[in-house]
């Protein structure tokens, strides 16, 4: 196994979780906020709203946003986000798309963008904005137009045609926008008089993307992927269509209920999750299988070197190629050299000191999947199936960079995407460790000053503190009566 590790932290003992260098990571994110990003980001100029979200939210998780910015600066960030709002609803992905000065034919080149709208609203919450300037009614109307007949959501609306992908990422972003602007309740919005999106159709679309092994793919009959699986799970939470509470031994009635087809004669869809007489179709036909698939994404293959059988003769030990035999099940058909290697396999070895997650079967671990998988398990109330310490060591000792931030793989330079999801994953691990009583330093319920990172809402992917600001906003809008609020987590 490769022992490449970052110099961002000193290797700790297996029994002692490493600490997060908050100052180093804060400096990294402040550079991203206040200076030009490296030239490699030039192709992402059209995604500046996304980059802004990662930067602002990362500083918030580090409790470094308010201490390192002035009220005037934060107000300017809020104004910048609103400058990207489209009058007909939604937000553009970058100010470089703003063609409002061009009066004729500019709308098709300057459309609102579903992911950008989610990132804009989430960033406004992080910055403490009251969302008073959000064109709520127009955005809800636009969002309904972004849904296709098959239940999926697109990215943009150009000349009346839905453009962009149709996978669960867009369903996730759309349901988050819907959640922020009107909560979980189904049916016409009483305050804006806007019709709701077709929740049943979305659930059906998500269920069609389920795979035989419990994961979710971008479309039917494709390979399961951890990112798509998380997005589907979180979307179901936003629309209050998650399956029955996960139990170790679900009843036959629960099993049958979760597998019930969407449009079955006699089945009625309710407009309130509190109505006990009606039945609403739930997503995920086999939650236990989904948990198993997510947990199976754990891997000790953390670099490209770990994938290789160096001499192509099966003599690499588990310390140098620990997953090679499990990939092809060579123990069932061993050569003499391979059999010798299997007999020498130790019962415990240092390879398990660092454990990451991959996004698909037989792939190398990647920083971002520590969030996609970890958050998915958290939302399914199954984070207990993962031992947090080896994953934490993988992030802090393998992919954390000496200048701050996280790379995709050990030795990679940091990038905004992996650096944010690395912090998000660490926040969830900190909470999970406290729940498992693994480390006195970690825990969700500790005061902010005692936690390394703010507690993260696994569904919205922002701090629970930021999400909690929705409560007062919903009350002001009149869309909240106390029954929709889940408090975050």
Do 484 and 452 share a structural domain? no
What is the average per-residue pLDDT within 364-393?
93
Please report whether residue 107 resides in a domain: yes
169-183, 273-287, 426-440 — which is least confidently predicted?
Answer: 273-287
Do 189 and 59 share a structural domain? yes
* Count of domains observed in the chain: 2
Query: How many CB atoms neighbour CB 211 within 10 A?
Result: 19
Q: Which residues pair with 210 in a beta bridge?
A: 216
Do 232 and 99 share a structural domain? yes
Please report whether residue 375 resides in a domain: yes
Do 292 and 235 share a structural domain? no
Q: Is this prediction's pTM over 0.85? A: no
What is the average per-residue pLDDT within 39-63?
95
**What percentage of residues in the chain have a pLDDT greater than 90?**
58
State the CATH number of the domain containing residue 119: 1.50.10.20
Do 295 and 221 share a structural domain? no
pLDDT of residue 247: 43
Range of the domain at 432: 286-331+338-458
pLDDT of residue 460: 97
What is the average per-residue pLDDT within 434-452?
58
Please report whether residue 162 resides in a domain: yes
Most confident of 185-194, 279-288, 308-317, 358-367: 358-367
User: How far, rounded to the nearest angstrom, does the alpha carbon of residue 140 sit from its chain's CA centroid?
Assistant: 23
Residue 459, both tokens: 């569904």
pLDDT grade, residue 317 (50/70/90)? very low
Please report whether residue 3 resides in a domain: no
CA-CA-CA-CA torsion sign (448, 451, 457, 460): positive
Do 181 and 74 share a structural domain? yes
Do 222 and 297 share a structural domain? no
Instruction: Report H helices in 127-258.
Output: 136-145, 168-182, 199-208, 226-238, 252-258
Q: What is the pLDDT of residues 391-423, one digit of tens each?
A: 999 999 999 999 999 999 999 999 999 999 999
Please report whether residue 253 resides in a domain: no
What is the average per-residue pLDDT within 119-131?
98
Do 302 and 237 share a structural domain? no
Please report whether residue 134 resides in a domain: yes
pLDDT at 216 over 90: yes
Do 322 and 190 share a structural domain? no
What is the average per-residue pLDDT within 47-72?
97
pLDDT grade, residue 68 (50/70/90)? very high
pLDDT grade, residue 281 (50/70/90)? confident
Contact 224, 270 (CB under 8 A): no
pLDDT of residue 80: 97
Do 150 and 57 share a structural domain? yes
Please report whether residue 28 resides in a domain: no
Residue given tokens 């001499």 in the structure block: 311
Average pLDDT, the chain: 81
Do 320 and 436 share a structural domain? yes
Do 212 and 71 share a structural domain? yes
DSSP class of 18: P
Please report whether residue 36 resides in a domain: no
CA-CA-CA-CA torsion sign (297, 237, 232, 454): negative
pLDDT of residue 221: 87
Greatest distance between any 2 Cα atoms in the chain: 76
In the chain, what are the helix, strand and coil shares in percent, each to the nearest 5?
45, 5, 50
């Amino acid at each position: 196994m490769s022992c490449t590790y970052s110099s961002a932290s000193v290797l700790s003992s297996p029994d002692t979780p490493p600490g997060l260098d908050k100052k180093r990571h804060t400096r990294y994110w402040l550079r991203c906020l206040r200076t030009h990003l490296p030239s490699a980001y030039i192709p992402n100029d059209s995604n500046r709203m996304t980059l802004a979200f990662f930067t602002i939210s990362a500083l918030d998780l580090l409790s470094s946003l308010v201490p390192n910015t002035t009220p005037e600066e934060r107000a300017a960030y809020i104004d910048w986000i609103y400058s990207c709002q489209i009058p007909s609803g939604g937000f553009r992905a970058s100010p470089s798309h703003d063609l409002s000065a061009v009066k004729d034919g500019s709308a098709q080149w300057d459309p609102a963008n579903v992911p950008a709208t989610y990132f804009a609203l989430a960033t406004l919450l992080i910055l403490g904005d009251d969302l008073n300037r959000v064109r709520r009614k127009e955005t809800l109307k636009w969002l309904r137009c972004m849904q296709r007949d098959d239940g999926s959501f697109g990215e943009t609306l150009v000349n009346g045609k839905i453009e962009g992908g149709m996978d669960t990422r867009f369903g996730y972003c759309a349901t988050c926008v819907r959640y922020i602007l009107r909560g979980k309740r189904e049916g016409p919005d009483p305050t804006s008089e806007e019709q709701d999106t077709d929740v049943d159709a979305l659930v059906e679309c998500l269920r069609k993307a389920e795979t035989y092994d419990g994961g979710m793919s971008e479309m039917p009959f494709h390979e399961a992927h951890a990112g798509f699986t998380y997005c589907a799970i979180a979307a179901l939470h936003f629309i209050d269509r998650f399956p029955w509470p996960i139990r170790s031994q679900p009843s036959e009635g629960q099993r049958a209920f979760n597998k019930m087809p969407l449009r079955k004669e006699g089945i009625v869809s309710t407009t309130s999750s509190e109505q006990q007489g009606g039945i609403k179709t739930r997503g995920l036909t086999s939650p236990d299988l989904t948990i198993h698939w997510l947990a199976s994404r754990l891997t000790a293959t953390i670099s490209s070197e770990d994938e290789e059988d160096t001499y192509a003769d099966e003599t690499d030990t588990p310390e140098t190629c620990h997953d090679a035999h499990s990939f092809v099940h060579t123990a069932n058909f061993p050569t003499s050299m391979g059999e010798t290697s299997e007999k020498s396999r130790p019962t415990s070895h240092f390879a398990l000191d660092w454990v990451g997650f991959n996004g698909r079967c037989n792939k190398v671990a990647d920083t971002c999947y520590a969030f996609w998988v970890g958050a998915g398990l958290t939302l399914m109330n199954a984070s207990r199936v993962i031992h947090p310490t080896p994953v934490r060591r993988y992030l802090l000792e393998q992919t954390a960079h000496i200048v701050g931030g996280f790379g995709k793989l050990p030795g990679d330079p940091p990038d905004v995407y992996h650096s944010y999801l690395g912090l998000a994953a660490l926040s969830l691990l900190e909470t999970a460790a406290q729940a498992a009583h693994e480390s006195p330093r970690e825990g969700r319920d500790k005061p902010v000053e005692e936690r390394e990172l703010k507690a993260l809402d696994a569904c919205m992917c922002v701090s629970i503190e930021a999400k909690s600001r929705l409560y007062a906003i919903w009350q002001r809008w009149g869309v909240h009566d106390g029954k929709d609020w889940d408090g975050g987590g």
